[in-house]
Amino acid sequence: YLYSSGHPAGGSGLVNPFGLLRSRDGGKTWDKLGLEGESDFHLLATSWNTNAIYVWNAAPNSRMQRAGLHYTLNDALAWQAAAAKGVDGDPIGLAVHPDDAKAVAVATSKGVYESIDAGESFAQVADEQGTAVLFELDGKHLWYGSYDGRRPRLARARLKSGPLTQFKLPPLTQDAVSYIAQNPARRSEYAIATFQRNVYLSKDAGRTWTAIAEAGRTK
């Protein structure tokens, strides 16, 4: 399934914002899962093999009594608030473990954090500004983008405080990694997008990168 949120195009006549949407046919049609006209989830993440959906909502709504981290295990029939103890800074990125519905990671302006108890408490993985997070589909590693005040970084950490691998990024000027994705059909293939809308593809698990879009335009 695909899950989404956001705003309709001007003049479309659709209710703004969308709330939470689900597609079961690759994006051809969409089902409404609630909160239409109430919430636009800028931070939304789903688990590959479980029903877990996590969101970081900016304000309370009819299903969530406060702002912050929430999750559902039944396609938004019920939402559970998470305390997110240990998280510092403004949230920027969110990711859910592919097999463990209780494992979630968040990137914030103050670091990268990992939880194994459904977001109740978090441990810090990196202490510099986080920009993106992704659980690898092997379920054993967390990829994250960060910025140390001088240059952007891309790293891969083994879960539960394991060894860290730093990757060489393509030249990025006043830019950083904003999204990371892994191809489920070819798992050594990764893509990264940047805040300046540049997109790079790696076919060797992050060792080398090829630009496939620049400033939002494909090459």
Q: What kind of architecture, by CATH, is found in domain 41-169?
A: 6 Propeller (2.120)
Which of 162, 156, 96, 88 is CA-nearest to residue 127?
Answer: 88
Rounded CA separation 57/39 (Å): 8
In degrees, to the nearest 5, what angle opens at C-alpha 91 toward C-alphas 74 and 210? 95
pLDDT number for residue 7: 92
pLDDT number for residue 160: 76
Buried-state track 166-194, b at ≥16 Cβ within 10 A, e below 16: ebebeebeebbbbbbebeeeeeebbbbbb
Dihedrals phi, psi of 114, to nearest 5 degrees: -130, 140
pTM of the full predicted structure? 0.94
Length reported for the chain: 219
Residue 172 in tokens: 């990025």
pLDDT number for residue 118: 98
Which portions of the chain are predicted below pLDDT 70?
A: none
Extents of the domains making up the chain: 41-169
Residue-wise pLDDT for 121-149, tens only, equals: 999 999 999 999 999 999 999 999 999 88
Rounded CA separation 65/53 (Å): 18
Residue-wise pLDDT for 42-66, tens only, equals: 999 999 999 999 999 999 999 999 9
pLDDT number for residue 132: 98
